[in-house]
Each structure stands twice: as structure tokens, then as C-alpha cells.
Amino acid sequence: MTTSQKLSWSLLLPHPAAVLLLVIIIGGIFGGLVYLYLPHAVVTITPATVNKTVNQQILISATVKEPDFVHYKLPAKMLEKEATEKKVIERSADVTFDDFARGKVTLYNDQDEEQQLLPKTHLRHKESGAYFLTDTGVAIPPRGKVGIIVTAKDKGAAGNVKPGRFVVDKLPMSLQDAVYGESSQSFSGGVAVDKPLTSEEIDQEKEKLEVQLAERVRGMLTSAAGGAALHEDFIGYKSELETAVPVGSSASDFEVVGKVAGQAFLLDENDLLGLTLLKLRSTVEAQQEFIEYDPQSFKVVMLRRDWERGEALVEGSLTGLFSAKLGATIFKADNLAGLTREEVHEKLKQLPGIGEVAVELTPFWATVMPARNGAVEIVVENK
């Protein structure tokens, strides 16, 4: 063979490095295929979970300066507002007639000695000039006062006087400034109707006025809070409603006097949530960990309110999710070799703290757990 022929053959033969590279590539592909087609398993374990609900009492007070995370106390700003109103109720009737008006008068005695007034003592309404008679005798204590009911001397609408001052006409002029009467409600009954006033009718009008005044106070408190949201449970009301007209009266109208005082505690509800969450976290047990709380479960209710001291006791309620504390090191893949999916599931579920078990076998034809070292991966996954 000539030299030129030898050279041609050498060019046709592959280079040793190329051959080696080709062998490596083929070997890698073959190894990858072998690896892919050897059985593998991934076992995903989810710890068991439990929901817990706690109820924690929290003191909110205008005198507390800083949050107390040990004794569960929170500072709060106290807002107070009041609304009053006098409302005259006109009664509907087919027949009306004149009658004697009646009303309540408070008698005052600014002397240092008791003042006696006989029954049928004349009292003159200073503004209108209408005369009224005391129903009974009365003794007004020194520097004191007494409430009585008086009746108009004459029938008719003139007796339906407005609140004002009353003069005891029979007393000397020198005593009329020391012994006198005052009324805070309009009189009624000077015009009567043919049906007596019922307690239901009075209560209904009182309730209407109370609702109106409470709504007004609610707006005043919101304004005082600068538009900040006020928790309904943190608002309290005190109501005083009265009328001088007795049940059974034939008065064509009567007056209802109402006063509603409102008190509200202004504080950050996130602070209430924080203290309740602190209590919830404190309930975690050994081999257990806190996962999350449910914001929708948070509720606050008022247990007790002290108007004078400016404090209230509330109770926060919150629900949270806890799970068992697991580590992958407690599971040994060697103990699972040769088991089917169902057997793996049953075996692991017997262990404490296990919630759910999922087994994934590959390739598709694998039906049991492989025994090969490293062929089984165990994953602990919290929800």
C-alpha cells in the first residue's frame, strides 16, 4: 500500500478523542434511560392538624397608658355625648271637649324654715297668667324642694301651659321670690278626647323618642371620634324617658321628655386581635406548632361596663390552625421497600401526628416501593 493510500485511510478513521466523546454520550443516554426506567417513589406526608378556639378577657380603660401583654389590658379613649328632646304627641280623636289641664310642678323653698302650703293653694303661671291649684297640702323643707301635681283652675286649652315659673299668689310679695314653683314639662289635658290614654300608647312614643335620640348620640360620638370606626359593642347608652300624663288621661296631647347619654371606647381593634392572638399562640402543645389564624373568626363582645371608672371588660374570641411537628428524619425509607401504595399509606397512618399520605411511583409500571438506595424520597409538607 502506497503512502498516499495509507494517508487516505487515516483520514477516514475517527479520531480517538471523538470516539471517547461518543462513548461517553452513548453511556450517558443509556444510563439516563436506565435511571428513568428504574422504579422511583416520592412519599409526601402532611402532618395532622387541629383547630383551636380561645376566649380571652381583656380590660380596656381610659386610665391605662400602655398595652399590658401580661395582664391583658389596653388603653382606650373614652368619648361621652348626650342628647335631650321634648316631644308633644297629638292624639287623634273624633270628639274633643274642654277639661282641666294638669301637670307636675317642683316647689322650692329658699328659706331657712319649713313652708306649709294648704290644699287648693293658687299657683299662677308667670308667663301665661293661668291659675292652678295644688291637689294636696304640702310642707316644703328648709332649703329644699318638693314635687307635686297641680290642676288648672278653669277648663280649656289655656291650661296647657309651657314649662316655666309659678308664683304662689297668696304669699306676701316678700316671700314670693323665696317660695316658688317651676315646671320642666308642658301641661296637658285642657282639651280632652273621648278615649283614655293607654300605657301602650305612652310606651310606644317613649320608644320612638329613645331610638331617635340614640341615633343622634351615635352620630355625635362618631363625629367626636374623628370619623374613626366605632365598634358597636363598645358603645353604651343610658336613657331617661318620662311623661307627666298618667295612664287613663283624656288629654288630647301629651309631652314625652327624653334624655339619652352615650359612651364609647375608642381603640385600635388590631390591639384586641393581637392580645387574643397572643393567647391563642400560648396554647401550643409539645410536638405541635402554630400554623395560622382565621381572621374571619375574630369576635369581640362586651362583658361589663363601668361608666364612672371609664373602663370595660371585653372578651376576644379567635380560632387558629395547629399541626403536629414532624421531621423527615423519623421516617426510614428502608422500612417501606416492597410495599404497595395502600400498604405504605396504612403503615404511615399508624404513626402519631400523621394527617395525609400521598405516594407517587414512577415509571407507570412500578407497583411497589423500590429497595434501591436513594430511590425513595420522603417529603414532609405543611399545609
Would you state the pLDDT for residue 33?
42
What cell numbers appear for 325 in the block?
Answer: 411537628
Instruction: Tell me if the pTM is above 0.85.
Output: no
- What are the structural domain ranges in the chain? 1-37, 39-71+267-383, 79-87+196-266, 100-188
Q: Which CATH number applies to 100-188?
A: 2.40.30
| Rounded average pLDDT per 10-residue block, the chain, 383 residues | 53 56 56 59 89 96 91 93 92 84 94 94 95 94 95 94 93 93 91 88 94 94 86 89 87 90 90 94 90 94 89 95 75 81 86 87 88 86 72
Would you state the pLDDT for residue 237?
92
Query: Beta-strand (E) ranges in 156-287?
Result: 165-168, 179-182, 191-193, 235-242, 253-266
Give the Cα separation of 61 and 310 in Å (integer).
6
Q: How far is CA 198 from CA 93, 100, 202, 254, in A?
A: 14, 19, 7, 12
Would you state the pLDDT for residue 234?
87
Alpha helices in 225-312 (DSSP H): 269-281
Distance separating the N- and C-terminal Cα atoms of the chain? 78
Give the Cα separation of 247 and 242 in Å (integer).
12
Would you state the pLDDT for residue 272?
93
Give the Cα separation of 368 and 340 in Å (integer).
4
